[in-house]
Chains A and B, each alone.
Chain A
Amino acid sequence: DAGITQSPRHKVTETGTPVTLRCHQTENHRYMYWYRQDPGHGLRLIHYSYGVKDTDKGEVSDGYSVSRSKTEDFLLTLESATSSQTSVYFCAISVLGRFTDTQYFGPGTRLTVL
């Protein structure tokens, strides 16, 4: 499991409310990622982080913000949730290997926005 946990695992919320998802890792890996997974779209990168306070946008970042104040935690915030943000959210980390970095995924958070 590469020491990755996500919380909450399931959440139902209403349109317009703020939502924060947490990703926690136990092994001090530098790179962390947030993806969303939707039927017919595969996995799409929302934001990623390359260190404490260092983050960058992915391909579907609109409506999302992130923060990383500690190496082990990467937070994804939906400032005002919309129904289009109903999805399964996966956190991932990069584990440094001999030739390349390998991404490992957390268990996922299923978010429903009503």
Chain B
Amino acid sequence: GENVEQHPSTLSVQEGDSAVIKCTYSDSASNYFPWYKQELGKRPQLIIDIRSNVGEKKDQRIAVTLNKTAKHFSLHITETQPEDSAVYFCAANQGGSNYKLTFGKGTLLTVNP
């Protein structure tokens, strides 16, 4: 089955700096890669996603890049703010299915004022 590895497990940055979280996946059939943000005590919420027919997608300060050949994708957050502090999860769909996701183990991002 699909295996998704996520690094680093913790990341601490100064406010205004950039943060990068990386994920690798094993299933070459995977073609959908969402990212979720989970604040303490809250539910995971989708922040951005990318399909395999594009290499990069941006939404304001957040961007995701995808390298299908290397089977890795990354989340980039620029100009970090304290409210970006949360756990971030990457995911990949299993076997190209629209319905089943495999999640990485998460990255705790702390943005220090």
Chain A, range 56-114, C-beta contacts under 8 Å to B: 58-59, 90, 94, 99-108
| Contact partners of B112 in chain A: CB under 8 A | none
Known contacts being A105-B43, A107-B43, is A31 close to B99, with CB within 8 Å? yes
Would A90 and B99 count as touching, CB distance under 8 A? no
Interface contact tally, CB-CB below 8 A = 48
**Residue ID in chain A nearest B106 by CB atoms:** A42
Quick one: which of A41, A45, A100, A106 contacts B43, CB cutoff 8 A? A106
Residues of A in contact with B, size category? 20 to 34
> B36, B43, B104, B106: which has the most chain A beta carbons within 10 Å?
B43
In the complex, what's the smallest C-beta–C-beta distance from B4 to chain A, in angstroms? Answer: 8
In the complex, what's the smallest C-beta–C-beta distance from B105 to chain A, in angstroms? Answer: 4
